[in-house]
Amino acid sequence: MVGLKRNIRKISKYFMRDNLILTAGAGLGFCSSLAVTNKLENSLTMGIGVTLVTSGSFCMVYPFKRLISTAGTHHKISLLMIIVSVFVAIFGFFAQAFVPEITANIKAYIDLITTNCIVLAVISEGLTVDFWEAQKKILKACLGYSMALILLAFLREPLGFGTIMGFPVLSDTFPRVVLMVTPVGGFFALAAFRLLLRPFLLRAGIVYQEASSCECAAATNGGVPIVTSRPKRGISRVSLVAIGLGVCLFISLIIHMQTIPTLHQHFLILFPVLLNALFFDGIVLSKLLGICPLLNKSRQIDAAWKMGVAVIIVITLSTALNWLVYHHILVRCSDFLSTYSSLPIRLEAIFYLTVFIVTIAVFVQILSVLLRKFAKNVYEQMGQFLELITVNCIVLASATFTIPTGAKFLVTTVTAFGYGLHWMMVVVWLALLRRQRLFVPTTAWDEDTIAILLLGIMAAIFTGIGMIHIF
C-alpha cells in the first residue's frame, strides 16, 4: 500500500509539477485550454497538435541552438515562431484531411499554436539541455497540457451537450448547463479545477502555499506589525480637463459627421464594427485569447495600461500592414502563378500564417528601432512590452480572424483597434480589482484562480450586454 501511494505521488508529480494550466501561476496556455475544451474531440486534436508541433519544431531548431541562443530576445522569439508556424501549417493540412469537421471548428485556434506560450517556453528551455533530456521535458509538458484539456472537456461537454465524443452519457431529462459550452463556462471550469485540485497538490508537495502579500509587506516593531496607510491617489485637475475636452471633441465629431454624407456612411458602418469588437465579441471575454499576458501584466496598474497602449498600437498597425501584404502580394502572386500553371496553387491559403508572423516580427522590430532613436523616453517605458507583444496571440488572431475572410481594409483595421482597446480595458479593470486586495491567498484559493473567476464574471456581464441589440 505504501509503495502504491509512492507511485501515485510520483506519477502525479511527473504530470502536475510542471503542468502550466492546472498548477502554475504563470498563466501559460490558458487561451486554448478555455477555447477548445467545450468538446473532448477538440481537446484531443489540440493536444496532439501541440505535441507534434513542439517536438517537430525542436528537432529542426536544435542543430542551430548556438546561433539562436546568441541572438537577442526579439530575434530568438521571431525565429522560433516562424519555424513553429511552418509545422502548424503542416499539421493543419493533415488535420483538415483526416478530421475536417473538428478542424473546421477549431481551425483558428490551431493556427494560434504558433503563439502558444507553452510551445515557445519548452523549446527555449530545451535549447539549454541535452537533446533527449529536452525531448523528455517537451513530452512531459505536452502530456500535462493535453491532460488538462481532457479534464476540462470531461466536465464541460457532458454538462453542456450531454455527450462524450458524440456518444450520449446523460439522459434527455437531465438539464443541460448551456453556460458550460460558452466562454463564461470555460473560465468557471478552469477555476473550479484549480480550486478542487489545490488541496491535493499542496498535500502532495507539488505546489506550495503562497505567502500572504499582507504578511510579506508588513514591517515589525518589536513583534508588532506597523500599519502603514496608503497614499491617496486622485485624478489631477489637468487630467479632468483633458478628459472633458476629449469627450466634447468626440461628441462634436460625431455630430458634424452627419453633415458629410460620405463620412456619415462610413461612420454607420464602422462604429458598429468597433462596438462589436470592443464589447460584444471581445478578443478576451468572447474569443478567449490574450489571457496569458493579461494575467501577468494585471498585477500592477502601471504595467497594465502601458502594455495596453503598446498592444493597441502594434495590433492596429500590424493588422493593417498584414492586410496590404495579404491582398497586394500573396493574392496577386497567386493570380500571376495561376496564369502560367494548371495547378490551383493559392499562396495566401498556404503561407499566410508564416507571412503574418514575419510581418508582425519585422514591424515590432522597426517600431522598436524608431522609438529608440526618435522617442527614447517612450521606448524606455514601453520597450520591454514591445518584445512581449510579438508572442501575444491577439496580434496574430486579429489578422487570421479578419483578413482571410475577405474583410475590407477599414473594417479590418477598426476591428483590430477594437480588439486592442478591449484587451487594454480588461487588463486595467482586472489590475484595479486585484489592487483592492479583495482576497488573500489561502490553502484553497490562489491569486490566479481568483483572477480567472473575475474574468468569468466579466465575461458573464459582457455576454448579457451582447444580448442587447443596438444596431
Secondary element (H or E) of residue 168: strand 167-168
Instruction: Indicate yes or no: pTM above 0.85.
Output: no
CB-side neighbour CA atoms (13 Å) of 180: 20
pLDDT for residue 4 is more than 90: no
User: Which grid cell sits at 97?
Assistant: 484531411
What's the confidence (pLDDT) of residue 44? 92
pLDDT for residue 10 is more than 70: no
Distance (Å, rounded) from C-alpha 253 to C-alpha 269? 16
Q: If you write DSSP's letter for every residue of 208-250 in order, what string do you get?
A: -PPPPHHHHH-EEETTEEEP-PPPP----HHHHHHHHHHHHHH
The answer to whether 103 and 162 are in contact (CB under 8 A) is: no
Q: Which residues are bridge partners to 224 per DSSP?
A: 221
> Who contacts 225 (Cβ-Cβ below 8 Å, separation ≥6)?
218, 219
pLDDT for residue 47 is more than 70: yes
- For residue range 192-232, what is the model confidence (pLDDT) as tens digits? 887 877 766 666 565 555 544 434 334 344 444 444 444 44
What's the confidence (pLDDT) of residue 324? 92
Which of 16-25, 63-72, 204-213, 220-229: highest mean pLDDT? 63-72
Choose the weakest-confidence range: 192-196, 294-298, 436-440: 436-440
Q: Which residue has the higher pLDDT, 251 or 239?
A: 251
pLDDT for residue 450 is more than 60: yes
User: Which grid cell sits at 319?
Assistant: 493588422
Single out the residue of 91, 114, 101 nearest to residue 39, CA to CA: 101
pLDDT band at residue 316 under the 50/70/90 scheme: very high
Give percent above pLDDT 70 in the chain: 74
Distance (Å, rounded) from C-alpha 365 to C-alpha 74? 8
What is the pLDDT of the chain when averaged over all its residues? 78
What's the confidence (pLDDT) of residue 230? 47
The answer to whether 38 and 186 are in contact (CB under 8 A) is: yes
- For residue range 105-148, what is the model confidence (pLDDT) as tens digits? 888 888 888 888 888 888 888 888 888 888 888 888 888 888 88
Distance (Å, rounded) from C-alpha 424 to C-alpha 300? 13
Distance (Å, rounded) from C-alpha 230 to C-alpha 219? 14
pLDDT band at residue 385 under the 50/70/90 scheme: low
The answer to whether 415 and 403 are in contact (CB under 8 A) is: no
For the chain, how are helix, strand and coil distributed in percent, rounded to 5? 75, 0, 25
The answer to whether 197 and 22 are in contact (CB under 8 A) is: yes
User: Which grid cell sits at 163?
Assistant: 455527450
Q: Which residues are bridge partners to 167 per DSSP?
A: 164
Distance (Å, rounded) from C-alpha 439 to C-alpha 81? 37
Secondary element (H or E) of residue 3: helix 2-16
What's the confidence (pLDDT) of residue 331? 87
Single out the residue of 222, 217, 194, 233 nearest to residue 447, CA to CA: 194
What's the confidence (pLDDT) of residue 180? 84
User: Which grid cell sits at 3?
Assistant: 509503495
Section 235-261 average pLDDT: 65
Place of cell 493536444: 47
The answer to whether 419 and 283 are in contact (CB under 8 A) is: yes
Secondary element (H or E) of residue 167: strand 167-168
Section 407-414 average pLDDT: 91
The answer to whether 315 and 293 are in contact (CB under 8 A) is: no
Burial of 445 (0-12, 13-18, 19+ CB in 10 A): middle
What's the confidence (pLDDT) of residue 225? 45
pLDDT band at residue 54 under the 50/70/90 scheme: very high
What's the confidence (pLDDT) of residue 422? 92
What's the confidence (pLDDT) of residue 223? 45
- For residue range 142-198, what is the model confidence (pLDDT) as tens digits? 888 888 888 889 888 898 888 888 888 888 888 888 888 888 888 888 888 878 777
pLDDT band at residue 347 under the 50/70/90 scheme: confident
Helix, coil or strand: residue 163: strand
Place of cell 480572424: 401
Section 16-42 average pLDDT: 74
Q: For residue 154, what are the CA distances in angstroms to 24, 163, 277, 284, 286?
A: 21, 9, 31, 23, 21
> Who contacts 105 (Cβ-Cβ below 8 Å, separation ≥6)?
39, 42
The answer to whether 322 and 401 are in contact (CB under 8 A) is: no
Single out the residue of 171, 191, 170, 188 nearest to residue 180, CA to CA: 188
The amino acid present at 93, given as its one-letter code, is F
Helix, coil or strand: residue 164: strand
Give percent above pLDDT 90 in the chain: 11
Q: Which residues are bridge partners to 164 per DSSP?
A: 167
User: Which grid cell sits at 168?
Assistant: 450520449
